[in-house]
Structure 1
Amino acid sequence: MGQYFMISAPRLRRALGNGGKLREMLFGGTAKALVHVLAVPIEPQLPPSSSLDSTLVPTEPKYTPPAIDVVTSGPAKDPPTVVHSRPGKRQANDEAPSQRVKKLETTTSSDFDKGAKASFLTTFPSLPPELHELIFAHLDSIEDLICLSVTSRYFWVIGYKHIQQYYTSLLGRWAGHNIICIGDYVDAGDYPPHLFSAEEEQELNQMKVGFDGNCLDSSAGSDTSADAQPLTLYDLAIEPMGTIEEVVDLYQTSTRTLHACMRRCRSSKRLSDFKHPELVMRNSTYFPASQTWILRNLTTHEFVLPTAVALKPEYINGPFIHGLGFGEVVMARTCWTSDYGVAMSCGADICRGVWAGHRFDITTLSRHDEESRGGEWTDVSEDVSKEIAHIWECEDGPDWREIIHNTISALERGDDSDSCVSDD
């Protein structure tokens, strides 16, 4: 059947997709998924309030609760003490806090008049902003965040940044982590440099895999069956030890979430509250094309410019490059296997990638310049460009660039579909 490969973050025990033959993955678009998990998003700013006037409900007036007399029980034989709840600093002749803390008597609702009841029911918008921030921060559900945020312009300002933080957390999840495109013919104990420490390698070498795919640690006295096999890097990429991770489609995810919020609304008049263009997310929201994005090898302090990879400048759309981009570069340079039979014409070098097991991210050039002040980084764009051209020419011949151009043109005409190619 031939050798199969998986794009893996072995320390995270995660893999992208179900893998396949190396050539099919590299030339068929699978590698593009790496851009989605390595690109570090830019969190968008709150849009101007003027653009929201037609969609947001009016802000409720701020409410300040009146002073309410609360009777507390004082010391024995002392008359009841009346404490007034009111804003402001403690007066100089007030008692110390330890003297003022008293046990509240049990009070029924009948002890309050209708005005007092109403004041307690309408104080949520009047809580201090710090408490509102805490409430938003403790909402785990994105649907809850959105539904509360659209109730007023005031809550929209607070909630919008929490909504953006939620969607930001779905992006760039592999940035800064070790990456390897591992083949299933890899030998046990065959690890690329920089991936594990000597102690970690020794621990992995003591592990075995049972017939069900689960890991058995022989050093811990676990029962190991006769058919158990030594653990390999490929075992860490597949289930049950590894977890298959799908690329997040921001547009589909945010649209599906928005529809779930709208189903909660019982009044058709309030459905317009959810019609905000800011609640429908796209890659361009977090990865602006106006910025120059670069691929960085954080292990070796090397970087690659987009112009060295893209066949045409117009193919560059933020970190996403049509046809051939950063994903193909990372995959081609991180392949690792012990068996060089990969059915590719480019030679055995691709089987022992020079970047296998290294850490990566894709970030903006301006952010890189700011973060790397005083640090030494090497521009390897020219070397990478030559290497990629060699691989593609070996496989598709001297007209390989024209083949990619034709594929992109076909996708733009709608002759085929590839969600990894699209930026939205």
Structure 2
Amino acid sequence: MVDGASSPCPARRGSPESPGATPPEGGAPTEAPRAYPFGDTTDLAPHPDYAALREGPPIRVRLPYGEPCWLATGHEEVRMALTDPRFSVAEAMGRDHPRMRPLARTGGGMVALDPPEQTRLRQVVSRRFAARRVERMSEHTRRLAEEQLAVLSAAPQPADFVALFATPLAIRVSCDLLGLPEDGRRRFSDWAGAVLSYVARDEEVASRTVAFRGYVAELAARRQAEPRDDLLTDLVRARDTGRIREGELFAIAAELLNAGFESTACQLANMCYLLAVRPEVAELLRGRPELIPGAVEEMLRFVPLILGSTLPRYATEDVVLGSTPISAGSPVVVDLSAANRDGRVFADPDTLRPESTEASRHLAFGAGAHYCLGAHLARQELRIGLELMVTRLPALRLAVPREEVPWRTGSLLAGPRELPVAW
């Protein structure tokens, strides 16, 4: 995840600058890039400037490290950057690409490749995430959720929903799917926390990654001798038959664990927070449980989960994004959360509407070749989790004043660090 380095640019954080003017034809900027991201998210409130930015063309920004880039915030522009093959994530490798950490990424698994190489890796694991196969996992997922709910319910009130339900449920589902035993979950959790924090020292991330990679290598050796019905066995067989390389085995395992654990745990906590501060939503869903699947989609749209961006897309030829000419070789980052509040696509976008029929157009799972592989599984966990919150935690409420909820800082994901609740 952190192998390889480049010359870092100084971090630029603090108050946002002027959004910048529309560049002249050819994509040359006319003002200094604006510092991005605009700040940590608290109380699930996106930065107020996004509303104005969506009304205009992409602007020039600078992440804490790497070269300046274009920022797309409108739904149409973000979808185009994600789906148009003229935008490449693989082109970021070996460049001083925009990023949140000092070290540039020089390799990786599926997220850092374009088709057909990305497709080659994705095909190795995609069958495990097919809708029908995930549906057959629902009883197992529900059993795990019921067990964690029992742990939460038995705890003295107030209880921390993040520590007792959201995080352990997401870890157990992800580790069971991959084939990590009970004793490996803490190692995985510690490593994932460091990787997804952009304030963790690179040395710490590197050492944790080396240790976790060694642990996965030990498990892979065991699976080679004693295959099981899990994703790690699939990866070992693919490596041994030449479909993937040794380094790709760990990269894929790491990506699947990260994507399946931390973001789902964060979203479960965010959903709990929304129910606690909006009891009328819980009451509505209790009376009309058929709305729960749609409410999950609406919460995915409404919650600004990702702070900043992942890997940028580089234009491989001159292209017009929205009304802005983007020159070949220029990087573009997308803000999924901003796109999900676009009033040109969603009516009353800053209001949570559990009955909405528009929410399915959200981009929380991305789009195109890099659409989230685990979207079906994430939806299953969120649906079951929301159902249990609504039906089994009557009178769910915050156990501290709303303004005292501690929110994550210095992280790529937005959500409560702890969520003291009572019911």
TM-score in terms of structure 1 length: 0.21
**Structure with higher helix content:** 2
Larger radius of gyration: 1
